[in-house]
């Protein structure tokens, strides 16, 4: 056994004991020679299976319930009012359309359905309308799907209102490290989002907090994000790989290759062994032929498309699960 093999096995043992990896150890995972990818994936899969049901993969879906005209200047996003991008712009959709999205999620076999709004934060009126739609989904139609909401920097009162309506989880992404954040957003701060996550936890809601990779961030930034989520003990981490959008400042960003993407996923698994890892935006274009290896280390895939970009044919995701002898997680309600 050489030194790299021993290091990977040692990191897996630490994760299995739920001992935190140091910054230096997490960086070393990202910088392993490519020839050790197979062992790294195996080790990360072993950790995943120790904390979650082996071979069970969850599907989740979203609806872009309010699109574009966003006041924020996130340089990766097509919905910012600062950039000319080919997207539709519309206000919060009617309750019936949110309901239709929930029905589509059920048809896809999704266990979760997230209602997503553009903007720094939803207005009081928008929160009321979302809460009304969630009550319809959960208590009137009683659809077999968990409902999540992504609506910006909500205050405690708004979070409690959504929780009372039947929302179980809030999505609020830090996207990257505190150091790199000013390179991608200047209209709000990383700290604002960090404090929002703490509020979400304080009112007893589950947390879904992710990142985007390939925007020009360093390995240190990726590790800092992973260790922040470990510190916060978030429940779910969506892993997105930049899908460059024409008209945004990130349209020519470097992105990441498939092997580096696998190392990023493995690092997040080893640093956050109890968190659900979700393969989300950009998984198709970035992982390509290595998609199955990524699924072995993670818990979920977003299906049915993303906010402003189409996803892949869901039949391919079902075939992928079949090919790796995995099964779709049957609906579990919180």
Question: pLDDT tens digits, residue range 230-243?
Answer: 999 999 999 999 98
Residue range 178-197: mean pLDDT, rounded: 97
What per-residue confidence (pLDDT) applies to 1? 80
Q: What is the 3-state secondary structure (H, E, C) of 258-318?
A: HHHHHHHHHHHHHHCCCCEEEECCCHHHHHHHHHHHHHHHCCEEECCCCCCCCCCCHHHHH
Mean pLDDT of the chain: 93
* Position 304 pLDDT exceeds 90: no
Is the separation of the CB atoms in 279 and 294 below 8 Å? Answer: yes
Closest CA to 211 of 178, 192, 243, 237: 237
How many beta carbons lie within 10 A of that of residue 22, not counting itself? 13
Residue range 118-145: mean pLDDT, rounded: 94
DSSP string of 196-246? Answer: HHHHHHHTT-EEE--EEE-SS--HHHHHHHHHHHHHHT-SEEEEEE----T
pTM for this one? Answer: 0.95
What per-residue confidence (pLDDT) applies to 84? 84
In terms of Cβ atoms closer than 10 Å to its own Cβ (0-12, 13-18, 19+), residue 50 is: middle
HSE-up (13 A, CA, CB side) for residue 237: 34
* Position 278 pLDDT exceeds 80: yes
What per-residue confidence (pLDDT) applies to 317? 87
Is the separation of the CB atoms in 61 and 104 below 8 Å? Answer: yes
Q: 88 pLDDT band (50/70/90 cuts)? A: confident
* Position 268 pLDDT exceeds 70: yes
* Position 308 pLDDT exceeds 60: no
Closest CA to 29 of 200, 213, 268: 268
3-state secondary structure of 150: strand
What per-residue confidence (pLDDT) applies to 331? 52
Strand 211-213, strand 206-208: pairing? unpaired
Give the torsion sign (CA, 33, 36, 42, 43).
negative
**DSSP character at residue 330:** P
Closest CA to 211 of 200, 201, 221: 221
Q: Compute φ and ψ for 56, nearest 5 degrees.
A: -110, 125
3-state secondary structure of 251: coil
DSSP string of 54-98? Answer: TTEEEEEEEEEEEBS-BSS--TT-TTBTTS--S---B-PPPHHHH
- Lowest mean per-residue pLDDT among 10-14, 41-45, 71-75: 71-75
* Position 329 pLDDT exceeds 80: no
Max CA distance (Å), the chain: 61
The C-alpha angle 311, 280, 112, rounded to 5 degrees, equals 95
DSSP string of 90-121? Answer: B-PPPHHHHHHHHHHHHHHT-SEEEEEE-SSB
CA distances, 79 to each of 153, 245, 323 (Å)? 17, 10, 36
CA–CA separation, 263 and 29 (whole Å): 7
């Amino acid at each position: 056994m050489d030194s790299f093999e021993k290091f990977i096995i040692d990191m897996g043992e630490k994760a299995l004991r739920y001992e935190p990896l140091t910054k230096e150890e997490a960086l070393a995972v990202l910088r392993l020679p490519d020839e050790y990818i197979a062992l790294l994936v195996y080790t990360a899969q072993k950790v995943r299976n120790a904390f979650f049901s082996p071979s069970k993969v969850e599907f989740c879906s979203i609806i872009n319930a309010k699109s574009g005209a966003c006041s924020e200047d996130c340089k990766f996003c097509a919905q910012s009012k600062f950039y000319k991008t080919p997207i539709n712009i519309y206000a919060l959709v009617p309750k019936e359309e949110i309901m239709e999205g929930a029905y589509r999620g059920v048809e896809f076999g999704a266990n979760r359905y997230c209602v997503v709004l553009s903007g720094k934060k939803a207005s009081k009126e928008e929160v009321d309308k979302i809460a009304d739609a969630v009550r319809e989904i959960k208590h009137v139609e009683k659809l077999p799907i968990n409902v999540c909401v992504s609506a910006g920097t909500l205050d405690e009162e708004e979070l409690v209102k959504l929780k009372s309506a039947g929302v179980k989880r809030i999505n609020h992404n830090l996207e990257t490290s505190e150091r790199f954040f000013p390179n991608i957003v200047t209209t709000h701060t990383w700290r604002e989002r960090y404090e929002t996550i703490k509020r979400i936890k304080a009112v007893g809601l589950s947390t879904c907090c992710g990142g985007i990779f390939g925007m020009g961030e360093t390995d240190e930034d990726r590790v800092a994000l992973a260790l922040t989520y470990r510190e916060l003990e978030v429940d779910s981490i969506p892993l997105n790989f930049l899908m460059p959008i024409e008209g945004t400042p990130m349209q020519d960003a470097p992105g990441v290759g498939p092997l580096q993407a696998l190392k990023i996923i493995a690092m997040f698994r080893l640093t956050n062994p109890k968190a659900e890892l979700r393969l989300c935006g950009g998984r198709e274009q970035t992982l390509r032929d290595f998609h199955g290896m990524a699924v072995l280390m993670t818990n979920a895939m977003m299906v049915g498309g993303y906010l402003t970009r189409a996803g892949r044919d869901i039949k391919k995701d079902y075939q992928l699960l079949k090919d790796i002898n995995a099964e779709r997680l049957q609906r579990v309600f919180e």
